[in-house]
Amino acid sequence: MGEIDTIAAIATPLGTGGIGIVRISGPDAFATAERIVHLAKGRRVSSLAGYTCAYGLAADQEGPIDEVIVTAFRGPHSYTGEDIVEISAHGGVYLMDRLLNACCKNGARPALAGEFTKRAFLNGKLDLTQAEAVIDLISAHGGQAARAALSARGGALYRCVGEIADRLTYFAAHLSAWIDYPEEEIEAVDPNALQCDLAKCLQTLDSLAGSYETGRLVREGIETVIVGRPNVGKSSLMNLMTGVKRSIVSDIPGTTRDLVSDTVLCGGFVFHLTDTAGIRKPDDPIEQEGVGLALEQIERAQLVLAVFDGSEPLTGDDRRVMEACRGLNALALVNKADLTQVLDAQAFASDFKRVLLISAHDTNIIKPLTEALTEMVGLGAFDSSAAIVANTRQRAAVMAAAGELREAVEALENGVSYDAVAVCIERALDALLELTGKRASQAVVDSVFSRFCVGK
């Protein structure tokens, strides 16, 4: 990391708030804070023990800045592993800027994006997957995403990968010893046992690689479109799911012409909802454009909610909707369950994975609808505590390791020499160590922390 200096940054969002925090980390953290803050009763910032707070007055060359609370963290028992001082003042852009400028004039420099967490990684406080979990935790929009990120921050992925890496290290060492020192009394390599063990590691890696798509849905949310012919209750469903009147509800066909979008939480997962124009063959060119947009959204969506009026027979426009949904991840919602039903659910069996009878004006449908939505996108049995591959960097490393192990298993099956098998195992191990950051290049490390905000 080169020469260690002292960094400072505003650790809270810029804007008006009850409290704002300026964080200082490095060898001169206490000295920097002491030049700015005068504690009550003549105490000195440098005298504070770790995990303690003290009241004082912050000032610069222009005079008093604000009353503050100073919180001390002594390295190595801190987030970065270094001495950290946090100065809490009343929140506000002016006060925070002035405090930060005072820090930078008294021994610190402005921190780069993600530099606090980068120092935590370089100081061995967390591995690279745990560092990436920090930004996922900050950016989480749903409860399940937050829990998954917290699990990763706690080391779920690191432990899973670490167990495989430990096994591969043992295999590599055993093979190397067997190959290089044949005259020594070293336990013979059992090719069948080795192949079995490698296959188990490969199975775990394949499972991890497969978790990427699930993790992406949890993290980014599911693009969901509501479609149907006019007056079947699409807008009512949109309003029910969002909890506010986002779409105009009217008996007049063609009321919704543009796309209406919002984000909702269902079962702790994020769904990006889009209400569309009623699908039919209109004479109005503006409405026709809206229908075209609706059909485009169907093709792009990860989940389609197709709404039908259960109190009326299927129309040509209904069948057009069914045809557009054919082969897609689509849920048929037969609306107006409070009226006499004339539609048979079997009519939708060939075009939809699931059919649900609802009333878009009844809040009691939220629970069964939520269960149906999560099952449709494969999140019904999602375990937020399990190890999950969270981004493309992690997936690439896992897939690279899996590819090498696959070659090692095939080499053993074909009776190839142990030298080739050992090379594959060592390459797989390198990929896993890059994943955790133990052998990651500077470019990889810089790329990971470039995603962070300043102050974290």
Separate counts of helices (H) and strands (E) for the chain: 14, 13
Mean predicted confidence (pLDDT) in 222-250: 78
pLDDT: is 234 or 329 the higher one?
Answer: 329
CA dihedral 433, 439, 440, 445 (to 10 degrees): 110
Does the residue 122 lie in any domain? Answer: no
Annotated binding site for (6S)-5-formyl-5,6,7,8-tetrahydrofolate: 23, 86, 125, 456
Annotated binding site for Mg(2+): 235, 256
Q: Is the pLDDT of residue 340 over 50?
A: yes
Overall domain count for the chain: 3
Q: From the CA atom positions of the chain, what is the Rg in Å?
A: 29
Task: Report the C-alpha gap between 172 and 418 in whole angstroms.
Answer: 10
Report pLDDT digits (tens) over 267-326: 888 888 888 777 766 555 555 666 667 677 788 889 999 999 989 999 988 888 898 888
Query: For residue 248, what pLDDT is reported?
Result: 44
CA-based end-to-end distance of the chain: 18
Which residues of 134-227 form beta strands (DSSP E)?
A: 222-227
Of the chain, the percentage scoring pLDDT greater than 90 comes to: 41
Residue range of the domain that includes 197 = 131-215+391-450
Tell me: do 178 and 236 sit in the same domain: no
Task: At 165, list the tokens.
Answer: 């890496």
Q: Is the pLDDT of residue 398 over 90?
A: yes
Residue 27, classed as helix, strand or coil, is coil
Q: Do the beta carbons of residue 46 and residue 31 sit within 8 Å?
A: yes
Annotated binding site for K(+): 231, 250, 252, 255
The model's confidence at residue 250, banded by pLDDT at 50, 70 and 90, is: very low
Tell me: do 93 and 146 sit in the same domain: no
Residue located via tokens 């950016």:
139
Annotated binding site for GTP: 231-236, 250-256, 275-278, 335-338
Does the residue 299 lie in any domain? Answer: yes
Distance of CA 85 to the CA centre of its chain: 29
Task: For residue 120, count other CB atoms closer than 10 A to its CB.
Answer: 21
CATH code for position 46: 3.30.1360.120
Whether the ω angle into residue 64 lies within 30 degrees of 0, i.e. cis, is no
Annotated binding site: 23, 86, 125, 231-236, 250-256, 275-278, 335-338, 456
Tell me: do 324 and 257 sit in the same domain: yes
Residue located via tokens 């993790």:
215
Report pLDDT digits (tens) over 129-145: 888 888 888 888 888 88
